[in-house]
Amino acid sequence: MFNIYDSTEEDFNNYFLSINEKTFRSKQLINWLYRKKVTDFYLMSDIKKALQEKLNQDFIIPSLECITKNISQDGTTKFLFKLADENLIETVLMHQEYGYSLCVTSQVGCNMGCMFCASGLKKKVRNLEVAEMVLQVLTVEQLTGVKITHIVVMGIGEPFDNYLNLLKFLNIVNHPLGLEIGQRHLTVSTCGLVPKIYEFAEFPLQVNLAISLHAPNNELRNKLMPINKSYNIEELFKALKYYYNKTNRRITIEYILINNVNDNQKEARELADLLRGMNAYVNLIPYNEVLENPFKRSTIERQRQFYDTLKKQGINVTLRKEQGSDIAAACGQLRSKYLQ
């Protein structure tokens, strides 16, 4: 038995060929599953009866169990899902001016160990299956009735540590007969797994890449993000330049502002120096406080000063408006755990 939501069009093609069927069946199936959201092969009326039966034997069409749904004052909605093996994950739906954006989780727990993040308090238990990522999208659409227009793979986990499943997921949600989420509406965020940045430069879809930088020098980044000891800032930026030259896609740099830790004028100037001449765009994110660690959000004044310094140095920068922090649904607040 295969899980139907694990399959790309190419996987379906191989399957249909293996049972002596024509590959146009793949397109029919994708249309039923993702456009019409039909979860019963016997309702797929343009598929002949014998093939419906064969599909029913060979595939399962699973669902994702929603345990809780929390709605923030700003409309951001956080879903706690239970996976088939009882593990828990969180997914966040955000209403933006341009549409609905879904923050998708890629792993149960996370091994990256960033000092400031709640998601890594629980070590990685396992990677999510492709279907478990796809089902976050389908289930949220089904539960809310909204059409998701953008996806950010910025939930729990390090997507580049679940690389092949991530690529399949991106292919599936982008499929023009299915969910049809445009390539430029898809964003993947990494803490900096350098070898995967080189590989991702070869990925044919024009997906956005975001880098969680959070410190402009190795001394500070080593303290905050253990990954920096494996791939330091020089190696990271070499990979980013390669990626940019290869893809011509502008890179997003995420930088959280933690009071008196990485938000001094010294760091602002170092960050500007690091990015000068690069086609990058900095997203400053006021830190969301997490119970288990001592870090504090930068004061409004320090946020402003940091922003102004980057701006004056000609860096493309925005100070992100936060969403969902009242329900612990903001960046770095998601966990593989039931909190209340």
Active site residues per annotation: 90, 331
Q: Which stretch binds ligand SAH (CB under 6 A): 13-21, 66-74, 197-205, 287-295?
A: 287-295
- Cβ-based neighbour number of residue 1 at 10 Å: 7
CA-nearest of 335, 327, 331 to 119 is 335
CA-nearest of 15, 68, 22, 70 to 47 is 22
Residue 81 sits in the site that holds ligand SAH (CB under 6 A): no
Instruction: Kindly write down the DSSP assignment for every residue of 232-272, as one continuous string.
Output: -HHHHHHHHHHHHHHH-PPEEEEEEEBTTTT-SHHHHHHHH
Q: CB 211 → ligand SAH: shortest distance, Å?
A: 7
Residue 282 sits in the site that holds ligand SAH (CB under 6 A): no
Let me know if 37 is exposed, middle or buried by CB neighbors in 10 A (0-12, 13-18, 19+).
exposed
Which of 179, 236, 285, 315 contacts ligand SAH by CB under 6 A?
285
Which of 303, 332, 335, 336 contacts ligand SAH by CB under 6 A?
332
Residue 284 sits in the site that holds ligand SAH (CB under 6 A): no
Q: Which is nearer to ligand SAH, 130 or 215 (CB)?
A: 215
Which of 44, 114, 140, 253 contacts ligand SAH by CB under 6 A?
114
Chain residues 177-196 in contact with ligand SAH, contact rule CB under 6 A: 189-191
Yes or no: say if 62 and 101 are a contact pair by the CB < 8 Å rule: no
Yes or no: say if 93 and 146 are a contact pair by the CB < 8 Å rule: yes
Q: Which is nearer to ligand SAH, 26 or 70 (CB)?
A: 70
Rg, Å, the chain Cα set: 21
Structure tokens at 89: 């994950």
Which of 132, 141, 158, 263 contacts ligand SAH by CB under 6 A?
158
Q: What number of chain residues touch ligand SAH (CB under 6 A)?
A: 19
- Helical (H) or strand (E) element with 99: strand 99-103
Residue 288 sits in the site that holds ligand SAH (CB under 6 A): yes
Q: CB 12 → ligand SAH: shortest distance, Å?
A: 29
Residue at shortest CB range from ligand SAH: 332
Q: CB 270 → ligand SAH: shortest distance, Å?
A: 18
Residue 117 sits in the site that holds ligand SAH (CB under 6 A): yes
Residue 116 sits in the site that holds ligand SAH (CB under 6 A): yes
Yes or no: say if 273 and 227 are a contact pair by the CB < 8 Å rule: no
Query: Three-class SS of residue 47?
Result: coil
Which of 30, 44, 151, 331 contacts ligand SAH by CB under 6 A?
331
Place of tokens 């996987």: 11
**Going by C-beta distance under 8 Å and a sequence separation of 6 or more, which residues neighbour residue 228?**
192, 215, 218, 221, 222
Q: Which residues bind ligand SAH (CB under 6 A)?
A: 112, 114, 116-117, 154, 158, 189-191, 212, 214, 254, 256, 285, 287-288, 290, 331-332
